[in-house]
Amino acid sequence: MIKSMTKVTSIIAIDGPAASGKSTVGAAVAEQLGYLYFDTGVMYRVVTSVALDRSIPIADESAVTRLAEQVKIDFLPPTISDGRQFTILADGRDITWDIRTRAVDANVSPVSAYAGVRSAMTVQQRRIGQQGHVVMVGRDIGTVVLPEADLKIYLDASEEERARRRYKERLERGEQVEFESVLKEIRNRDQIDSSRSVAPLKKADDAIYLDSTGMTAAQVVERVLDMVKERERVG
Kindly list the distances between the CA atom of residue 13 and the CA atoms of 9, 16, 53, 126, 132, in Å, as whole numbers in the listed order. 10, 10, 31, 12, 11
Is residue 85, in this structure, part of any structural domain at all?
yes
Mean pLDDT of the region 95-103: 94
Is residue 61, in this structure, part of any structural domain at all?
yes
Question: Which of 16-20, 96-100, 125-129, 132-136 is predicted with the least confidence, judged by mean pLDDT?
Answer: 125-129
User: What DSSP element (H or E) covers 73?
Assistant: strand 73-76
Is residue 4, in this structure, part of any structural domain at all?
no
Is residue 205, in this structure, part of any structural domain at all?
yes
Mean pLDDT of the region 29-34: 94
Domain count, the chain: 1
Note the pLDDT of residue 5: 46
Note the pLDDT of residue 2: 40
Is residue 235, in this structure, part of any structural domain at all?
no
Q: What tens digit of pLDDT does each residue of 137-185 get?
A: 999 999 999 999 999 999 999 999 999 999 999 999 898 999 999 999 9
Note the pLDDT of residue 234: 52
Is residue 34, in this structure, part of any structural domain at all?
yes
Is residue 31, in this structure, part of any structural domain at all?
yes
Residue 76 has φ and ψ, to the nearest 5°, of: -130, 160
Mean pLDDT of the region 41-49: 94
pLDDT category at 1 given cuts 50, 70, 90 is very low
Is residue 193's pLDDT more than 80? yes
Nearest to 223 by CA among 153, 172, 160, 127: 153
Q: Is the pTM of this model over 0.85?
A: no
CA distance 164 to 160: 6
* Domain of 213, in residue numbers: 11-223
Is residue 56, in this structure, part of any structural domain at all?
yes
Counts of helices then strands in the chain (DSSP H, E): 8, 8
For residue 182, the domain's CATH number is 3.40.50.300
